[in-house]
Amino acid sequence: MRSVKAVFKKQFKGSVQNPEMLIQFMIYPFMAFIMSMFVGTDAMAGDILYHAPDIGQYLIDAMMANMPNLVTMMATMFAGMALIPAVAGIIAEDKEKKSLRFLIMAGVKPPAYLIGVGSVILFVSALTSVAFAFVGEFRGMDFLIFMGAMLSGVAASIVLGAAIGIFVKSQQSATALSMPIAMILGFGPMMAQFNDTVARGLHIFYSQQINLVVDYITVGADTPLWQSFAIIWGNVAVLSVLFAVIYMKKGLRG
C-alpha cells in the first residue's frame, strides 16, 4: 500500500507539472463546451431557420435528430482515444529512462507501480468526466449513469494502455502502436452514427457502448443500459487477460 501511495504521489506530481498532459485531458470537455455554444444543435437549428424560414420546424427537428451530440462525441473520443497513448507513453517512458528500474530496486513491486499509475489516470479522468457532465448538464441519475459509463470506459483504456506500454520497448514505439488503436476506438463511434454497418461492427467495443449510454441520456436512445455496461466490463475482462499474458511474458524490464 505504501508503494502504491508513493507511485501515486510521484505520478500525480509529474502530471500536475506537465502542462501538455493536463491540456490533453482538459481539451476535450473544453472543445465540447465551445462547440456546443457555436455549432450545437440549437445554434444550428436557429441558423437554418433564419436563412431558410420556409423549411419548416418539422424538417429541422428531423435533421437535428440525426446530428451527433457533441458531448457524446467528445466524451467518447476522450475515454476511447486520449487515455490509451497517455498510459502507454507513461509506462514506456519510465522503462526507457530507466526510472522504473530504480523504483523496483527501491522496493516498489511492479503491480504497485501499475496500480499507482492507473490510479492517477483514473482520478484525473474522473475530474474530466465531471467537466463533461457539467457541459452536458447531466443531473441526478443521468449524472450517475454518465459517470459510471465514463469511468468504466476509462478503466478499459487504462488496462489497454498499460498492456501496450509493457509490450513495447520505447516511448516512440508506444505512440506508434497505441495511436492507430486509439483512433479506431475514438473515431469509430462517431462514424457509427452515420453508418449502420460500422455501428454493428463496433457494437462489441467499449467505446461504442459509452456512445450509446450517453445517447440514452441526451436524446433518449433506446439502449438497454445493462447490456451496454455488461459489454464494457466484458471488454475490461478481456483486456485484463491480454494484459496478464503480456505481463507474464514481458514483465516490467525497466
DSSP track, 217-246: HHH-----HHHHHHHHHHHHHHHHHHHHHH
Phi, psi of 222 (to 5 degrees): -80, 80
Task: Please count the residues of the chain.
Answer: 254
pLDDT of 55: 54
The reported pLDDT for the residue numbered 253 is: 60
Ranges of the chain whose pLDDT falls below 70: 38-69, 221, 252-254
Task: Record the cell numbers describing residue 200, joined without a space.
Answer: 454493428
pLDDT at 62: 44
* Predicted confidence (pLDDT) per residue in 163-214, tens digit: 999 898 888 899 999 999 999 998 888 888 788 888 889 999 999 999 899 8
| Domain-wise residue ranges, the chain | 2-250
* Per-residue pLDDT at 10: 80
Give the DSSP letter of residue 56.
Answer: -
Cell numbers placing 184: 479506431
Predicted pLDDT at 74: 87
Instruction: Supply 170's cell numbers.
Output: 520505447
DSSP secondary structure, 165-195, as one string: HHH-SSHHHHHHHHHHHHHHHHHHHHHHTT-
Q: What is the DSSP letter of 55?
A: S
pLDDT value at residue 48: 46
pLDDT for 38: 67
List Cβ neighbours of 233 (8 Å cut-off, separation of 6 or more). Answer: 152
pLDDT at 203: 92
